[in-house]
Structure 1
């Protein structure tokens, strides 16, 4: 069973549909949208979406009694495969700097900061199709591939350690497109909006054995 966490801050309908489509190919169609920590504790893999500001998203997650603890237990203690999408990836950081400093989950050391392109002609937010260039991270061999995906964000994850960067893109300078650590994967782009590339990624995630 795949738990898609509902904390009031995700594009749930589109992500749920994309996971179900990908699950047909992976033999993993049981995708449950849930705000229940006990359901998360029973999940074989977990997806954390996210749309909106860092502070509002982490606040919504923490407002679910016991959810952060359940995620920590199942992902960090038990090692089940985890996917964070967009702000769901950013929440893995130590803190986000949108509207001041807000602590994140702290699973991957780093900060989420406003995109500041070196080229003044480059607009923020970073919106539309752009490259995903993998770094050869050993945790995600065969999971994230080079290609093009759909992005929509104004803030970017800056991991403290380069070995946590799994893929990069360029938008007036380098931007972290994916992070990874053991059984944890986060992607800045939206797989559910990335057509064949995104569905293939979700299928590989649903087949991932850590």
Structure 2
């Protein structure tokens, strides 16, 4: 069965974006991308680069991890504001929104139904794993369905912002097993955790 993988950049204090929800690695972001971080991403996760970045960097590798991306409405809006209706044309692209209505792009599927039910359907399909790119609100809604966390840790703290699982996530402790890690010279790190078991009191 396919796994739902939350592959996301985060600060040391657990935020995936600033208080306004803007892209932390974007042109006006608070985390300039280190060269070794980008090289590792290209080598290990080339499919997670947006289409325009892949073209600019000459990246053509298909990638081995994901063939489908799941995105929340606010995360998708960042691309729309930049004039990009499908930032990942090399992947099957689903956007979860009850307000967006018709898709701005024929290749992007809008999901207005229960995200948990839709993800369970996707998991039963054949293919590579499912990449949950964000945002925090969607990750919070899918918290119980996430099988793997891959955190791209920035050696920064910001004090406040959008938490890993959004501002409204339920209190539901879970244990995670560290299965892989790569620490880069810049101080950035890629850490992978598999869901272990629920934590009971």
Fold shared by both chains (TM-score > 0.5): no
> Which structure is higher in helix share?
1
Per chain length, whose mean CA-contact separation is higher, i.e. which structure has more relative contact order (CA < 8 Å, sep 6+)? 2
Q: TM-score, normalised by structure 2?
A: 0.32
Please, what TM-score do these two structures have when normalized by structure 1? Answer: 0.31
